[in-house]
């Protein structure tokens, strides 16, 4: 999102944003951080696994994926009033981008104005088992789909700059059927999943999605499912 859009969003923010506060910041590894946010304005929200939120990160906005969103709990002091809670997992990929700087600076008690949740990926009506394709930015959506669809098999295929780190974080978030490769190495694992009838959900890096789909088309494979690119080289705040 451009700074102009961020400015306009800022003007509208006091009316349409849900104002939460950061209740926990947990670094899961060198590059992945879990951010818990809670607040009365987060209560009573309709949440579908795969939804997105846009968050102010300084003067701009960036998009992240809530893993869970609940409206239970007590306010401090024990008052029986509704409180909403959510958490997401940020991948701090660089040192000087707005999103990364924000993730690295966050601390408990900080304001976290959220725009959303809004629909991004809704797997509710997709048939059969799912195969979620993505990268570090897809760990949260994978965890969310896996937690909600406990009755449906979700296989997760991720490419990553540091595969071991990404796999450890994915497993710590409860992902059991997860394969993490170096970048550009997902073709064979994806074909195997399509062969057993899994419906694909493409997320993560735009160029990888494009090249995987080109390879499938070259084999006369029909590409169904859903596609949401999460970032692209040279684009800022892709959404
Ligand atoms: C619907 C949706 C859901 C998303 N959910 C999540 C999530 O749950 N967790 C998460 O971490 N991210 C998520 N993302 C991706 C995140 O919004 C982008 O990575 C975003 O660009 C990060 O902002 P930034 O300020 O760090 O970089 P920007 O200022 O937006 O980008 C600057 C440059 O950094 C590079 N870049 C951006 N992202 C990456 C990356 N991941 N790896 C390597 N280089 C990159 C690009 O070259 C880009 O031109 C999601 C995006 C979308 C659209």
pLDDT in tens, 134-153: 999 999 999 999 988 567 89
State which of 63, 92, 118 marks the end of a domain.
Answer: 118
Instruction: State what percent of residues in the chain have pLDDT above 70.
Output: 89
In a domain, 239, yes or no: no
In a domain, 232, yes or no: no
pLDDT score recorded for residue 215: 94
Output the CA torsion sign for 134, 135, 137, 141.
positive
Same domain for 114 and 62, yes or no, is yes
pLDDT score recorded for residue 17: 86
Atom in ligand 1 nearest the alpha carbon of residue 141: 8
pLDDT score recorded for residue 231: 98
Same domain for 159 and 193, yes or no, is yes
In a domain, 10, yes or no: yes
Range of the domain at 144: 130-227
**Which residues are CB-contacts of 62 (< 8 A; sequence separation ≥ 6)?**
1, 54, 55, 98, 99, 102, 237
List the structure tokens of 223: 């590409």
pLDDT score recorded for residue 125: 87
Residues with CB under 6 A from ligand 1: 52, 62-65, 88-91, 93-94, 97-100, 120, 136-137, 140, 228, 230-231, 233-239
List the structure tokens of 163: 């595969």
In a domain, 180, yes or no: yes
List the structure tokens of 70: 């609940």
The enclosing domain of 42 has a CATH number of 2.40.30.10
Atom in ligand 1 nearest the alpha carbon of residue 135: 41
Contact of 71 with 143, CB cutoff 8 Å? no
Atom in ligand 1 nearest the alpha carbon of residue 88: 8
Same domain for 14 and 70, yes or no, is yes
Report CA(210)–ligand 1 centroid distance (Å).
17
Q: How many domains does the chain have?
A: 2
Same domain for 112 and 144, yes or no, is no
Report CA(127)–ligand 1 centroid distance (Å).
29
Reported as a pLDDT band with limits 50, 70 and 90, residue 82 is confident
What residue owns the CA closest to ligand 1's atom 26?
99
In a domain, 234, yes or no: no
């Amino acid at each position: 999102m451009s700074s102009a859009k961020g400015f306009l969003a800022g003007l509208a923010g006091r009316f349409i944003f849900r104002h939460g506060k950061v209740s926990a910041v947990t670094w899961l590894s060198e590059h992945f951080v879990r951010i818990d946010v809670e607040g009365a304005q987060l209560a009573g929200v309709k949440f579908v696994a795969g939804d997105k939120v846009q968050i102010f990160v300084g003067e701009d906005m960036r998009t992240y994926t809530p893993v869970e969103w609940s409206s239970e709990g007590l306010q401090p002091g024990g008052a029986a009033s509704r409180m909403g809670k959510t958490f997401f997992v940020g991948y701090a990929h660089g040192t000087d981008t707005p999103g990364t700087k924000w993730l690295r600076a966050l601390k408990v008690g900080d304001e976290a104005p959220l725009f959303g949740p809004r629909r991004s990926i809704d797997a509710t009506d997709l048939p059969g088992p799912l195969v979620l394709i993505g990268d570090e930015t897809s760990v949260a959506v994978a965890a969310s789909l896996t937690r909600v669809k406990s009755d449906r098999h979700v296989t997760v295929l991720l490419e990553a700059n540091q595969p071991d780190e990404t796999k450890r974080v994915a497993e710590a978030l409860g992902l059991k059927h997860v394969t993490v490769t170096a970048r550009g190495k997902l073709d064979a694992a994806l074909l195997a999943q399509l062969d057993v009838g899994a419906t694909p959900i493409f997320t993560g890096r735009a160029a990888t999605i494009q090249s995987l789909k080109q390879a499938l088309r070259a084999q006369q494979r029909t590409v169904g499912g859903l596609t949401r690119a999460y970032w692209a080289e040279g684009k800022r705040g892709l959404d």
